[in-house]
């Protein structure tokens, strides 16, 4: 069973990385969240009934873990870190990999609440409305409504950022 679990994690670790990147900015926090998601997956593997795809089940566990962690973190006092800009150390690899538009989108997504982040991440990951509904636990039509509202909200945030 352990071998199958490890193979499953390795085959679908991109899901976990996406969720970590969406909910954490600090590399150490991302590592902690990743470990917590793997732990929660291990704890809940026995209850996985295989009614849905493994990736759908993993998204659900990962997002629930991330949202729980996000809520815990929001209750803690804010931490302050010295940013790379303040240190004036350019990270050439990051500059090369990310375009200005992706940075704008990331900043806008960071301003969404936890559920909105989850929905837009799944949408951008090209999940169907049915899959998103299954993962999030809402109806298919509600997914469509939420996506349209999130798109409008993101558009508004991005326009404010560009001013």
Q: Are 58 and 48 in contact (CB under 8 A)?
A: no
Residue holding tokens 């409504």? 145
pLDDT in tens, 38-53: 999 999 988 887 788 8
Q: Are 19 and 66 in contact (CB under 8 A)?
A: yes
Q: Are 118 and 63 in contact (CB under 8 A)?
A: yes
In which band, very low, low, confident or very high, does the pLDDT at 85 lie, cut at 50, 70 and 90? low
38 and 15 belong to one structural domain: yes
Listed in sequence order, the residues at least 6 apart from 142 whose beta carbon sits closer than 8 Å to its beta carbon are 133
pLDDT in tens, 86-145: 555 555 555 544 567 788 888 899 999 989 999 999 999 999 999 999 998 999 999 999
70 and 95 belong to one structural domain: no
Count of structural domains within the chain: 2
State the Cα–Cα distance between residues 120 and 16, nearest whole angstrom. Answer: 15
40 and 61 belong to one structural domain: yes
Domain stop point among 37, 54, 81: 81
pTM: 0.61
Domain membership of residue 134 as a residue range: 85-163
State the CATH number of the domain containing residue 133.
1.10.10.10
Give me the pLDDT at residue 154, please: 93
């Amino acid at each position: 069973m352990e071998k199958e679990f490890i193979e499953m994690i390795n085959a679908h670790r991109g899901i976990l990385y996406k969720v970590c990147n969406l909910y954490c900015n600090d590399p150490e926090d991302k590592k902690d969240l990743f470990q917590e998601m793997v732990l929660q997956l291990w704890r809940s593997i026995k209850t996985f009934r295989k009614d849905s795809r493994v990736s759908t089940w993993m998204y659900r566990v990962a997002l629930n873990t991330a949202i729980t962690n996000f809520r815990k973190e929001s209750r803690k006092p804010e931490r302050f870190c010295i940013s790379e800009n303040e240190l004036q150390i350019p990270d050439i690899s990051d500059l090369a990999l990310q375009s200005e538009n992706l940075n704008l989108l990331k900043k806008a997504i960071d301003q969404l609440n936890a559920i909105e982040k989850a929905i837009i991440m799944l949408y951008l990951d090209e999940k169907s409305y049915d899959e998103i509904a299954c993962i999030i636990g809402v109806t298919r039509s509600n997914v469509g409504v939420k996506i349209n509202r999130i798109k409008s909200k993101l558009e508004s945030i991005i326009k404010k950022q560009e001013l």
